[in-house]
Structures are given as structure tokens and as C-alpha cells.
């Protein structure tokens, strides 16, 4: 029995339901209650919102979210083998857990969830970045999204939180800082997971900026794609296909600068000059 809810131990749940991890589904499970509790506590409080969890798997983080007060929890899981284990959790917490079987990439929280919501997940690494960029791309921003507390590979987490001048600064960092305040909460060694992945992981907490600087996202993406596509080149060269010197002059940015040294505000000036 587990200390937080009286449900069976996660290792027993995995054995009972034959949930041996599938690499293709990015299955690296968290069985340590201290870690799932830590993630849930960092994402709380949950009393005034729905919580969306992507990829609950055998339900370790799910149980921590419920034990920490989630009253309305929606989980989206692609692996049907996990459903019976999740149904046992739903029965233990009547009317609090909604289980959706499907691909999270096709699940639009703004269409499926009413009212404010938070997203909390130990994400499957193969789809983690597309999921995040989908969520960040929503217009109007941020509408009802209150926060995201998400596990990524450390290298991706560093790109998400990178600011101008950091070696990890790139397209993802610019997009994330346009729309959110992002910070790495803590790192986890591979041994924290079953089975252990090859890399270190990090939990990132992202809080949407409620009044971001106005900027058309598609234009910002056109700029950052060109600029970081050839990040070592001067901007007059890397931005040539989309306006080069003329565009830079309009935005008031010198052509001998490089993408890695351009602030968010300067990228926005370029996007707004396109």
C-alpha cells in the first residue's frame, strides 16, 4: 500500500497490469513518491482550476496530483494498457478523474476543458517539444492557462529557459520568453526513473505572461527560423531571404549583429517590421 492514498504500490500496479515500459512511447516511469509529491506541490494549488496531465502511465504523478487537492483532473494517455490502472485510481477518487485515451498532440485543452486550467506532466520526450509549442501557440494568449509544470530532458529545459547570451539560446527560448516566465525547478538523474533514460531530466515551471509585448507569432517564427538557422552568421546574411539589410534598417538593428546576441525585444522589433 502507498503512503499517500492507500492504493497499491506503483511497482505492484505495473506488475499486475503488465505495464513493461515501451521505448516508442517514451515510457520512463516515476515510482518515487517523494518526486511525484514534489512536482505536484510545485504545481499546486489546484482548488480553482482543472488540471490536465499528459501521459499518466501507471498513475504515479496522477495520484500525487489528486492527493495534493486536484478536484478536476483530466488525463490523456495513448497506451491503452494503462487504462485499467487509471480506472482503479478514478474509483478511489470518485468524480475527480477523467480519463481520455488518445494522442495528446490531437487534444486541444482549450476546446476540451472548461474554465481555468494548469498542465502538469512527466512528458514523453519524443513529443514534448511539439506539445509545448502547440500550447504556447494558442491565441488569444494565455486565455485560461494558469501554469505548466513539465518534465523535459535537461538539454530541452535549458533551451526553454535560455536568455540572450546563454549558449542554449535559440528559437524555443525566444518563443518561451515571449509568452511565459520559465524556470528550471530541479533536475533528476536517470536513476529517478524506471527504466532510466539515457539523459538527465529537469522539471520546468512556466507561468504565462498575461500582457506579452504584441507580436504576430508566425512572423516571429519566420525571423527566428532564419536568424538561428545560421546562428554564427551576421544578421544581414542570415536574414537575406526575408528582407536582409532593408528589414534590419526598418527595425533599427545593425546588420553585423548575430542571432545569439539579440534580445527578445529586438526579435519582436524585427517581427513587427516584416
Given the rule CB under 6 A, which residues bind ligand SAM?
Answer: 25-30, 54-57, 60-61, 76-79, 82, 103-105, 122, 124, 127
- Residue number, 29 or 169, with CB nearest to ligand SAM: 29
Residue 25's closest CA among 63, 1, 58, 64?
A: 58
Grid cell digits, residue 146: 494558469
- Residue number, 77 or 158, with CB nearest to ligand SAM: 77
| Dist CA 149 CA 109 (whole Å) | 15
The least CB distance from residue 126 to ligand SAM, in Å, is 7
- Residue number, 152 or 228, with CB nearest to ligand SAM: 152
| Dist CA 52 CA 225 (whole Å) | 30
- Residue number, 124 or 243, with CB nearest to ligand SAM: 124
Grid cell digits, residue 37: 509529491
Grid cell digits, residue 75: 488525463
The least CB distance from residue 178 to ligand SAM, in Å, is 25
Grid cell digits, residue 234: 551576421
The least CB distance from residue 132 to ligand SAM, in Å, is 13
The least CB distance from residue 61 to ligand SAM, in Å, is 4
The least CB distance from residue 201 to ligand SAM, in Å, is 9
Grid cell digits, residue 129: 517539444
CB closest to ligand SAM, residue no: 55
The least CB distance from residue 19 to ligand SAM, in Å, is 8
Phi-psi region of 46 (alpha: psi -120 to 50; beta: other; left: phi over 0): alpha
Task: Provide DSSP, 142-183.
Answer: STTEEEEEEEEEHHHHHHHH--TTSTT-SHHHHHHHHHEEEE
- Residue number, 29 or 228, with CB nearest to ligand SAM: 29
- Residue number, 65 or 223, with CB nearest to ligand SAM: 65
- Can you tell me whether residue 67 is helix, strand or coil? helix
Amino acid at each position: 500500500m502507498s503512503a499517500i492514498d492507500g492504493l497499491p504500490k506503483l511497482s505492484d500496479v505495473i506488475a499486475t497490469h503488465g505495464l513493461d515500459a515501451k521505448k516508442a512511447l517514451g515510457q520512463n516511469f516515476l515510482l518515487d513518491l517523494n518526486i511525484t509529491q514534489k512536482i505536484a506541490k510545485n504545481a499546486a494549488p489546484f482548488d480553482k482550476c482543472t488540471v490536465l496531465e499528459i501521459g499518466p502511465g501507471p498513475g504515479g504523478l496522477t495520484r500525487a496530483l489528486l492527493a495534493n487537492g486536484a478536484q478536476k483532473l483530466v488525463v490523456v494517455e495513448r497506451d491503452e494498457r494503462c487504462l485499467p490502472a487509471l480506472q482503479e485510481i478514478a474509483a478511489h477518487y470518485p468524480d475527480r478523474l477523467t480519463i481520455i485515451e488518445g494522442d495528446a498532440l490531437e487534444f486541444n485543452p482549450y476546446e476540451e476543458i472548461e474554465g481555468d486550467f494548469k498542465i502538469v506532466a512527466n512528458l514523453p520526450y519524443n513529443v514534448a517539444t511539439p506539445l509545448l509549442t502547440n500550447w504556447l501557440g494558442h491565441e488569444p494568449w494565455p486565455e485560461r492557462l494558469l501554469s505548466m509544470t513539465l518534465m523535459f530532458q535537461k538539454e530541452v529545459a535549458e533551451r526553454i529557459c535560455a536568455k540572450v547570451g546563454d549558449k542554449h539560446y535559440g528559437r524555443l527560448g525566444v518563443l518561451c520568453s515571449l509568452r511565459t516566465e520559465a524556470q528550471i525547478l530541479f533536475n533528476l538523474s536517470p536513476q529517478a526513473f524506471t527504466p532510466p533514460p539515457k539523459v538527465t531530466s529537469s522539471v520546468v515551471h512556466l507561468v504565462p505572461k498575461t500582457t506579452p509585448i504584441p507580436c504576430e507569432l508566425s512572423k516571429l517564427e519566420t525571423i527566428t527560423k532564419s536568424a538561428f538557422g545560421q546562428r554564427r552568421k551576421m544578421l544581414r546574411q542570415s536574414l537575406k531571404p526575408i528582407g536582409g539589410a532593408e528589414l534590419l534598417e526598418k527595425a533599427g538593428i545593425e546588420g553585423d549583429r548575430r542571432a545569439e546576441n539579440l534580445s527578445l525585444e529586438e526579435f519582436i522589433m524585427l517581427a513587427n517590421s516584416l
